Structure 1
Amino acid sequence: MKKHITIILIFFFTSLVYSQKMKVVNGDFDFIKDQKEINVEFVYDNMKLLKKNLSNDEYVKERSGDLEAKGKGKGKTWKKSWVASRELIYAPKFLELMNRDLLDKQGMSFEEDLTEAKYTLIVETIWVYPGWNAAVMRKPAKLTTLLKFVETANRDNVMLEITSKNAPGNRFGGTFSNEDRIGEGFAKTAKTLSKLIMKKAF
C-alpha cells in the first residue's frame, strides 16, 4: 500500500515539474545585466479561464452564481476576494520570487510603480485554470502568461518577450482556495523566470 502511495506522489510532483513551458519568442537578455531596478505591471484585460475559455466576466458570473446557490451571500463575498486577489496574492507572490535570487545575488529589484526605471516587465495573464481540491484528491492550478520587457518610455520597443505556459500552482499540503492555487502559479512563473535571467544575463 505504501509503495502505491509513493508511486502516486512521485507521478503527481513530477507532472508539476515538467508541465510548465517557458520559451523566448523575441529579443535577448543583454539589456538586463546592468539594470538595478525593473518596473513591473500586471495585466488581466484579456485573460481566459477554464477549458471553456471564459472571459473574466463570464467566469465571475458562473462562479459567483454557483456559490450563491450554495449559500446566500457566498457569491458576493467570493467576487470581492477574486478581484482583491490580484493585489493581495498574485502580484506579491510574483514579486517575492523574482526578488528572492535577483535582489539578493545581483542587486536587481523588481517592483511595481517604478516609473523612473528604464525598463518595464509587463506580466500579461493569458489563461487560468483554477484547479480544485476535494480533500482526498486535488488538481493544481495552471497559469499561462506573456512576459514582455519593454522600454518604459517607449512601450513599442520590446526588448524581450517570453511565453510561459501552464505554470503549476499548488501549495504543499493543499489549499481549498482557488486564488491561493493561482497565486502559486504566479510564484512558479517568477521562480522559473528569475532562474532564466540568472542563467542568460549574468
Structure 2
Amino acid sequence: MKKIVFALLFISGFTFAQDMKVVNGNFDFLKDQKEINTEFDYSNFTMMKENKPETQYVEEHKADLDKKAKGNGNLWQKKWVAAREQIWTPKFLEIGNIVFSKAGKDVNFQEGLDTPYTLIVQTVWIYPGWDAGVMKQPAKVTTNLKFVETANKSNVLLEIASEEAPGDQWGNNFSNESRIGEGYAKTAKSLSKLLLKKAYK
C-alpha cells in the first residue's frame, strides 16, 4: 500500500503544469543566431506562498536551523548563496543546450559572449518544495525571460513569462537548492523547445 501511495505522490509531482507565455515580441531575430549570450538576475525575487522577500526567507530559515543546531544557519546560508553559480545557472545552461543538441541544432546558451542579443533570466519567485521521504512536493521557479539587444538592453525584442516550473528528481532529493536547480532545468528545457518550434524550425 505504501508503494502505491508513494507512486501516486511521485507521479503527481511530475504532472505539475508549467505555464510559458509570450508576453510581447516575436522570434524572428533569433533564426540566424547560433550563440545566445545569457545573463542571470537573482537580485530581486520573492519566496514561498507568502511572497516573502528573499532576505526575510533567509533570516527565518537560518534562525530555524540554529534552533536545531547552533551554527548550522550560517553554513546553510553559504550553500544558499553558492547555489546560484554552482547549481541554478549551470542547470539552466546545461539542459537548455542538451535540448538543442538532441534536436540536431547548432545553437547554445553561454555566459559572457559578445553577441548581438542577450537572454536575461530574471528570477521572480521561488518555492523550494520539500521531501519527507514517502511524501514530497517539487520546487517551483517563476522567471521572466527577456531577449534584449546586447548593446541596448532597454530594447526588449522578446519577453516570455515562465510560471512555476516544477523542480524534482527521480527518487529522493532532500536538498532545497538542488530541487530549485531542477526548476531552472525545466525552465530551460521548456524555453529551448519553444525556440525550436518558433525560431529554429
DSSP 3-state at the match of 2:24 = strand
Which consecutive residues of structure 2, in runs of 5 or more, have no partner in the other structure? none
**Partner SS for 1:101:** helix
Per-residue deviation, residues 5-61 of structure 1 (Å, max 9, x unmatched): 17x635643553342100101011111110011111111122000011111110110
The root-mean-square deviation of aligned C-alpha atoms, in Å, is: 1.7
Letter in 2 for 1:46: N
Which residue number in structure 2 is paired with residue 170 of structure 1?
A: 168
Answer whether contact 2:42 2:122 (CA < 8 A) is retained: yes
Q: Would you say 1:144 and 2:145 are equivalent positions?
A: no
Q: Give 1:40-79 correspondences, 5 Å limit.
A: 40-79=38-77
Q: Residue type matched to 2:110 in 1? A: E
In the alignment, which residue of structure 2 is the partner of 1:134? 132
How far did 1:171 drift? 1.2
CA–CA distance in 2 between the matches of 1:138 and 1:10?
11
Instruction: Give the match for residue 85 of structure 2.
Output: 87
TM-score (norm 2): 0.93
Residue in 1 that maps onto 2:152: 154
What is aligned with 1:109?
108
**Offset of 1:97 from its aligned partner?**
0.9
**How many angstroms apart in 2 are the aligned matches of 1:74 and 1:175?**
19
- In structure 2, distance between residues paired with 1:97 and 1:120: 18
SS in 2 for 1:96: helix
Distance (Å, rounded) in 1 between the aligned partners of 2:191 and 2:87: 18
Q: Give the corresponding residue for 1:120.
A: 118
Aligned length in residues: 199
- Contact 2:38/2:120, CA 8 A, preserved across alignment: yes
